[in-house]
A and B are shown apart, each in its own frame.
Chain A
Amino acid sequence: MTSITNSAGSFFNRSLAQMSDLRGGIERARSQIATGRRIERGSEDPAAAAQLRSVARREALAKVEGDNAARLGQDLGAASSELEAVTALLQRARELALQAASAPAGDRARQAIAFELEQLGEQLFGRANAASLTGEPLFSGQSSGAAFTRDAVGNVTYVGTPTSGGVPVAPGTAIERGLPGNAVFEFVLAGTPTSAFAVLGALTTALQGGAGDPVAAASAAIAGIDAALDTTNRAQTILGTRMAWVEQVQEQQGERNIALAERRSRVGDTDIAEAIARLQQSLTALEATQSAFARVSSLTLFDALR
């Protein structure tokens, strides 16, 4: 008798192992299709899982950076519209100064002009201390208090910080939050530091009778108002550039988000067509194996002998 035989037990073991392998494959393909995720645990594909982790981190940070950029855009827009109003206001002040500087205007007219200038000064002070939509001061730099204060005799002083700090809007890119008030309202006139408030205040006082020659004072004030306008325009330009920058960053963020989503999908999502084809293939193989098993297992001599 030969010692090599075809053991019944080994045939059944082998068939069962093959069928359970196929079953496992079908189950995996089915869950990939159902969840849409190719990887359920890191060990299935460590490199892809690591990529997915870094994509997820990038996406989480990109979302926050997108929100930051949107809010920064709003704040810069708010500051810019305040500055537009300030420009209009200074232009009106310049017109008034011109009127006051023209000789025919009498004392009463100058009084009226002085009254309007006083109102304009109040408005200017209000706009310089304007707040953003969320109530943060627009021109006080990194300070959360008012940008300018006024003492008992009407002198206006900048009390914010000289820089306004950046907001990170993209990896490695931070855009300045706004402009500190001293860069918007303070300037140097003929070698002397002064401010829009001081210029308007001095003119008002002169027209109210504080100066011997109000006409000359008004003429002299025009240069100061022009300098204030210049400073405001420069600030407006800076804000405009930054707003354009924010917009550009937002566009880039949009593109990067699409790239990130594509990458995530490529690495971590189930390729449905492929998974379904694989599932079908495994199903066919399993059916074939089962029917082959049924036929082969009935092929014993015991069935043949009657």
Chain B
Amino acid sequence: MPSAIFTIARSGLTQARRSLELTAQNVANAENANYSRRTLTQGELVMTGNIGNNAQDSLGGVRPGIIERAESSLVQRQARDSSSALSAARAEFLAMREAESAIETSGVYAGLVDVEAAFTRLQNNPLEPALRLSALESARKMAGNFRIANGTLGNARSLVQAEMGARALTVSERAKELAEINADLVGSREGTAGRAGLLDARDLVLRQLAAEFGIEPTINANGSADVMLTGTPSVALVTGAVASAVSVSFAADGTASFAVGGTGFVPAGGAMTGRASALIGMAGLQTDLDTIAISAISIANTAQGNGAAADGSPGQPIFAGTGAVDINVVLAAATGLATAPSGAPAGSRDTGNLAALLSALGASTGPVSRADTLLLGLSSRVSALETRSEGLTVVVASAEAELLRETGVDLDTEAANLVRLQQAFQANSRVIQVAADLFDTILGLR
């Protein structure tokens, strides 16, 4: 039956052309990281008629099947989880590095050492006006450095907070997007290109969400995804077509707290966790910085109180302030520096009180040593965070490579497919040619 040969060849041509289209689609999306490669399934088409025990088969060629999308929920999950961990470490590292720059470059430590040096020089000749002035100015500079450190630390903190606010909005938007995708997925038909596109979009949103929060998605039979944010307690972000909004608020000390749809929770994993932990670190730094400033203020003012100024009057406080934010020099003139012990006459060159001040400043519990400890602790922490995020980068890179290997487009395979499908197309055309020749042969009978 030549007409059956036509039908068979036509079905083969259709199949080959549709497969070629998909191959072209795959090649076009070779560099699209969010694209999962597609294949077209096929099935043989045989029609069988039965009358009693007599069965008759009629070959119908090939039936184009459904568009299959390379899926691998396990690898997807690995990629998501590792990127969650990396985002947390990286966000904390970047934020703490800002804080490190703030405190290191503001010169808190150098300012304290300058004060120490200037007062040590003053011991040489405690009444020389130039030395006194330079000692007082070094104290002024030190106070300024504390205020700069306070300001830059505050800047670093508000940058992190602003980023958290913006990211919380993005996460809420993504959650809404996922809810819409879920709604569309319910209505989509299995094996269509549209459904494959929706699934790509779903996996992309899940990855984007995982970068900000640790997530626990549940993939339903219809392909839709419900998302829980992990934490204490875990809270639902997206359930079916319903999404909740994420909000973040900040306490007076700058630390953050989160809420999803009004329910408070502490997230575990994702960049938000890293930023929240950096904010806690910065609050600790602020406390330490204030403690050092207060210790410098109280040591200097106590020493002043125990001593006598150049004119023999009781020493007045050098500094005023309640912390790094407002430490300030209030001693009006350099002659007011109480270098001599209390009760010394006017014009005394006794440096007993100065020596007491210097030993308190340089003591192991003094501000110099505390500032050193603060810097050492901070830079060690930043260094550890850097090492951790470098290690996680490798993990994430290998998880992503794995994901791309599972779902990505291999150009060599696609090139081979092109050749194969082109040959199939040509072969099917040839079959039609043969069928036509057969038909002509029959028509040509005389």
Assuming the contacts A300-B415, A302-B411, asked whether A9 and B33 have C-beta atoms less than 8 A apart, the reply is yes
User: From residue B98, how far is it (CB to closest CB) to chain A in Å?
Assistant: 11
B118 surroundings in chain A (CB, below 8 A): 64
User: From residue A15, how far is it (CB to closest CB) to chain B in Å?
Assistant: 12
CA distance A13 to B32 in the complex (A): 12
CA distance A71 to B128 in the complex (A): 13
> Is A161's beta carbon under 8 Å from chain B?
yes
Encode contact with B along A6-27: 1 for CB under 8 Å, 0 otherwise.
Answer: 1111101110010000000000
Q: Whose C-beta in chain B lies nearest to the C-beta of A132?
A: B125
Assuming the contacts A12-B31, A57-B116, asked whether A301 and B123 have C-beta atoms less than 8 A apart, the reply is no
> Is B386's beta carbon under 8 Å from chain A?
yes
A168 surroundings in chain B (CB, below 8 A): 120, 123, 355
Q: Whose C-beta in chain B lies nearest to the C-beta of A62?
A: B117
A3 surroundings in chain B (CB, below 8 A): 70, 406
Q: Whose C-beta in chain B lies nearest to the C-beta of A301?
A: B415
Task: Please report which residues of chain B, range 90-105, place their CB below 8 angstroms from some CB of chain A when the two chains form the complex.
Answer: 97, 100-101, 104
B419 lies within 8 A of A305 (CB): yes
User: From residue B29, how far is it (CB to closest CB) to chain A in Å?
Assistant: 10
Interface of A is mostly: helix
A56 surroundings in chain B (CB, below 8 A): 110, 113
B419 surroundings in chain A (CB, below 8 A): 305
B415 lies within 8 A of A302 (CB): yes
Encode contact with B along A140-164: 1 for CB under 8 Å, 0 otherwise.
Answer: 0111110000000000000001000
> Is B221's beta carbon under 8 Å from chain A?
no
Task: Please report which residues of chain A, range 34-68, place their CB below 8 angstroms from some CB of chain B when the two chains form the complex.
Answer: 41-46, 49-50, 53-54, 56-57, 60-61, 63-65, 67-68
A301 lies within 8 A of B412 (CB): yes
CA distance A177 to B355 in the complex (A): 15
B378 lies within 8 A of A42 (CB): yes
The segment from B148-156, B262-270, B271-279, B368-376 found at the interface with A is B368-376
> Is A268's beta carbon under 8 Å from chain B?
no
A166 surroundings in chain B (CB, below 8 A): 351
CA distance A49 to B105 in the complex (A): 13
CA distance A56 to B116 in the complex (A): 12
Encode contact with A along B150-184: 1 for CB under 8 Å, 0 otherwise.
Answer: 00000000000000000000000000000000000
> Is A291's beta carbon under 8 Å from chain B?
no
> Is A240's beta carbon under 8 Å from chain B?
no
Contact among A60, A302, A305 with B117 in the assembled complex (CB-CB below 8 Å) = A60
CA distance A3 to B403 in the complex (A): 11
User: From residue B15, how far is it (CB to closest CB) to chain A in Å?
Assistant: 15
CA distance A145 to B412 in the complex (A): 97
> Is A296's beta carbon under 8 Å from chain B?
no
B32 surroundings in chain A (CB, below 8 A): 9
B30 lies within 8 A of A8 (CB): yes
CA distance A32 to B215 in the complex (A): 42
> Is B189's beta carbon under 8 Å from chain A?
no
The segment from B197-205, B286-294, B296-304, B342-350 found at the interface with A is B342-350
> Is A294's beta carbon under 8 Å from chain B?
no
A60 lies within 8 A of B114 (CB): yes
User: From residue A78, how far is it (CB to closest CB) to chain B in Å?
Assistant: 13
A5 lies within 8 A of B408 (CB): yes
CA distance A149 to B347 in the complex (A): 17
CA distance A7 to B404 in the complex (A): 6
A77 surroundings in chain B (CB, below 8 A): none
Encode contact with A along B407-423: 1 for CB under 8 Å, 0 otherwise.
Answer: 11111110110110000
CA distance A142 to B39 in the complex (A): 97
> Is B124's beta carbon under 8 Å from chain A?
yes
B400 lies within 8 A of A10 (CB): yes
Contact among B70, B114, B380, B401 with A10 in the assembled complex (CB-CB below 8 Å) = B401
Q: Whose C-beta in chain B lies nearest to the C-beta of A140?
A: B349
Assuming the contacts A136-B349, A143-B345, A167-B124, asked whether A42 and B412 have C-beta atoms less than 8 A apart, the reply is no
* Number of residues from B at the complex interface, CB < 8 A: 62
Task: Please report which residues of chain B, range 77-131, place their CB below 8 angstroms from some CB of chain A when the two chains form the complex.
Answer: 97, 100-101, 104, 109-110, 113-114, 116-118, 120-121, 123-125, 127-128
Assuming the contacts A53-B109, A60-B117, asked whether A145 and B347 have C-beta atoms less than 8 A apart, the reply is yes
B125 lies within 8 A of A136 (CB): yes
Assuming the contacts A60-B114, A144-B127, asked whether A10 and B408 have C-beta atoms less than 8 A apart, the reply is yes
B349 lies within 8 A of A144 (CB): yes
CA distance A68 to B31 in the complex (A): 70
> Is A134's beta carbon under 8 Å from chain B?
yes
B347 lies within 8 A of A144 (CB): yes
Encode contact with B along A164-196: 1 for CB under 8 Å, 0 otherwise.
Answer: 011110000000010000000000000000000
User: From residue A120, how far is it (CB to closest CB) to chain B in Å?
Assistant: 30
User: From residue A302, how far is it (CB to closest CB) to chain B in Å?
Assistant: 5
A273 surroundings in chain B (CB, below 8 A): none
CA distance A200 to B419 in the complex (A): 126
Q: Whose C-beta in chain A lies nearest to the C-beta of B413?
A: A5
User: From residue B400, how far is it (CB to closest CB) to chain A in Å?
Assistant: 7
User: From residue B224, how far is it (CB to closest CB) to chain A in Å?
Assistant: 24
B37 surroundings in chain A (CB, below 8 A): 5
Assuming the contacts A13-B400, A41-B101, A136-B349, asked whether A53 and B405 have C-beta atoms less than 8 A apart, the reply is no
CA distance A165 to B30 in the complex (A): 83
CA distance A65 to B362 in the complex (A): 15
B375 lies within 8 A of A41 (CB): no
B350 lies within 8 A of A161 (CB): yes
Q: Which residues of A contact B (CB under 8 A)?
A: 1, 3-10, 12-14, 17, 41-46, 49-50, 53-54, 56-57, 60-61, 63-65, 67-68, 71-72, 134, 136, 141-145, 161, 165-168, 177, 300-302, 305
Q: Which residues of B contact A (CB under 8 A)?
A: 30-33, 37, 39, 70, 97, 100-101, 104, 109-110, 113-114, 116-118, 120-121, 123-125, 127-128, 340, 344-345, 347-352, 355, 368, 372, 375-376, 378-380, 382-383, 386, 397, 400-401, 404-413, 415-416, 418-419
Known: A9-B30, A136-B125, A165-B351. 20 other contacts (CB 8 A): A1-B413, A9-B32, A9-B408, A41-B104, A42-B376, A44-B383, A46-B383, A53-B372, A57-B109, A57-B368, A60-B113, A65-B120, A67-B124, A141-B349, A142-B348, A144-B347, A161-B348, A165-B350, A167-B123, A167-B351
Going nearest first, the 7 A-B pairs with the smallest beta carbon separation are A7-B408, A42-B379, A301-B415, A43-B382, A5-B410, A10-B404, A144-B347
